């Protein structure tokens, strides 16, 4: 065969081979595109449901924390009124009237009220919601200890405490492979862009063989991220459920407490009316003595029951030698799983919820 024909045939073979390789490359890149797009859709779908759950949990914690703070404020007002009326009743009496409640129980109520008032005073503007969510999580284990020194109040009222709390709820920090929820309102900024996936904006090599290899890696990374999202979503869902359960019981028992508070307010109004009309306030006091003592005693008993529930931690706290472990800011350190997730205090919460309802039912209505 003449040389030109041989070279021509070789060129045709080479061209055909090149065309096939080009087509194979196109096919592989097209397949890679399909894999990456499917991965994007899987991640987007799970992320959407996770974001909705995160928002719902944050809202539930904010509502619970706000209710707990408001209850603490009402305890302060009840205590002031009760002390004033008790002092008036005992004025000139040899046998002083006393509340039949252990002093340590009364002290717990006072300490809780002190902490709640401190947080309300420290949190202002947009920080109130963050402080309320942080209080719902940390308040239970911080309230009583903060009363003696006041050092924990600023930590409770700060958004930083909330950020650290809810990051742990979400499954630990990004460094430990978690999702790092910040402030209960969003995943940490870097996580929004997808560092959990480590895929640099879904980019992959443009060459067919390498693109397909990278696309499979992206798909595996997405599967891992989706699994983390699912685990964190489940944790947030359980947290939301307990927030609702606690809130429901708190409201029921507080309504019972509020009836006795209303009794004291009514007596106070009668005393003030007698003073304005230049009548003898002591006559009102003498006539209402039994009512006042019953309202004070049962009111404080219900307040102590509420404090027992509020100060039951949502999550398990780390302990050493029977004492709660605290960080340098006097904030309790929560116990965590190997992956950095905080552990719901489910057994203790279930028991305390039951005990609260049983104990409140034993106290007669006003």
Residue range 20-54, pLDDT digits in tens? 444 455 677 788 889 988 988 898 888 888 888 88
Look at residue 332 and tell me whether its pLDDT is greater than 80. Answer: no
pLDDT of residue 13: 40
pLDDT of residue 124: 62
pLDDT of residue 309: 96
- Where helices occur in 91-171 by DSSP H, the ranges are 103-122, 127-149, 151-157, 159-169
- Going by pLDDT thresholds of 50, 70 and 90, the confidence category of residue 125 is low
Rounded to two decimals, the pTM is 0.81
pLDDT of residue 21: 44
Q: In whole angstroms, what is the distance from residue 35 CA to residue 220 CA?
A: 10
Least confident of 19-33, 105-119, 253-267, 339-353: 19-33
For residue range 133-149, list pLDDT tens digits in order. 778 877 666 665 544 44
Mean pLDDT of 316-337: 78
DSSP secondary structure letter of residue 315: B
Nearest in space to 351 (alpha carbons), one of 309, 317, 323: 309
| pLDDT, averaged across the chain | 76
- Going by pLDDT thresholds of 50, 70 and 90, the confidence category of residue 58 is confident
For residue range 167-214, list pLDDT tens digits in order. 455 444 434 444 434 333 222 222 333 334 443 345 555 566 788 888
Positive or negative torsion for Cα 33, 36, 38, 44: negative
β partners of residue 186: 182
pLDDT of residue 225: 80
pLDDT of residue 74: 97
- pLDDT-above-90 percentage for the chain: 29
Look at residue 256 and tell me whether its pLDDT is greater than 90. Answer: yes
pLDDT of residue 132: 80
Inter-CA distances, 122 with 148, 154, 339, Å: 17, 7, 33
Positive or negative torsion for Cα 310, 58, 254, 148: positive
The residue ranking higher by pLDDT, 255 or 139, is 255
Token pair, residue 284, equals 């009102």
β partners of residue 182: 186
The residue ranking higher by pLDDT, 300 or 234, is 300
Mean pLDDT of 330-347: 78
Look at residue 354 and tell me whether its pLDDT is greater than 90. Answer: yes
DSSP labels, 25-81: HHHHHHHHHHHHHHHHHHHHHHHHHHHHHHHHHHHHHHHHHHHHHHHHHHHHHHHHH
Q: What is the dihedral of CA 277, 279, 284, 285, to 10 degrees?
A: 110
Which run of H or E residues covers position 182?
strand 181-182
Q: In whole angstroms, what is the distance from residue 295 CA to residue 264 CA?
A: 7
For residue range 203-251, list pLDDT tens digits in order. 555 566 788 888 888 888 888 888 877 877 888 888 899 999 999 999 9
The residue ranking higher by pLDDT, 128 or 366, is 366
Mean pLDDT of 288-313: 95
Burial environment of residue 305 by CB neighbours within 10 A (0 to 12, 13 to 18, 19 or more) = buried
Range from 211-220, 309-318, 350-359 that averages highest in pLDDT: 350-359
């Amino acid at each position: 065969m003449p040389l030109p024909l041989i070279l021509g045939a070789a060129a045709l073979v080479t061209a055909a081979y090149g065309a096939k390789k080009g087509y194979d490359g196109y096919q592989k890149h097209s397949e890679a595109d399909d894999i990456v797009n499917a991965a994007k859709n899987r991640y987007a779908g799970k992320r959407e449901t996770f974001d909705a759950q995160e928002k719902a949990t944050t809202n539930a914690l904010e509502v619970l924390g706000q209710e707990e703070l408001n209850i603490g404020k009402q305890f302060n007002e009840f205590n002031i009124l009760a002390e004033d009326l008790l002092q008036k009743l005992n004025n000139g009496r040899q046998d002083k009237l006393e509340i039949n409640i252990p002093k340590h129980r009364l002290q717990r109520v006072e300490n809780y009220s002190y902490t709640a008032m401190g947080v309300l005073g420290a949190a202002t503007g947009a920080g109130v919601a963050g402080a309320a969510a942080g209080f719902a999580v940390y308040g239970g284990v911080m309230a009583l200890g903060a009363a003696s020194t006041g050092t924990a109040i600023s930590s409770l009222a700060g958004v930083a405490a909330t950020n650290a709390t809810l990051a742990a709820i979400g499954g630990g920090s990004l460094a430990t492979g978690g999702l790092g929820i910040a402030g209960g309102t969003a995943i940490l900024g870097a996580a929004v862009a997808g560092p959990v996936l480590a895929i640099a904006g879904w980019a992959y090599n443009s060459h067919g063989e390498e693109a397909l290899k990278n696309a499979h890696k992206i798909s595996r990374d997405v599967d891992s991220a989706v699994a983390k999202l699912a685990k964190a979503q489940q944790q947030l869902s359980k947290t939301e459920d307990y927030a609702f359960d606690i809130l429901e019981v708190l409201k029921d028992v507080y309504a019972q407490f509020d009836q006795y508070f209303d009794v004291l307010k009514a007596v106070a109004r009668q005393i003030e009316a007698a003073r304005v009309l230049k009548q003898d306030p002591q006559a009102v006091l003498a006539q209402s003595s039994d009512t006042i003592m019953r309202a004070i005693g049962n009111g404080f008993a219900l307040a102590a029951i509420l404090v027992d529930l509020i100060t039951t931690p949502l999550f398990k706290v780390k302990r050493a030698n029977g004492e709660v472990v605290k960080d340098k800011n006097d904030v309790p350190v929560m116990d965590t799983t190997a992956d950095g997730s905080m552990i719901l205090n489910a057994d203790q919460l279930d028991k305390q919820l039951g005990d609260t309802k049983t104990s409140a039912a034993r106290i007669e209505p006003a």
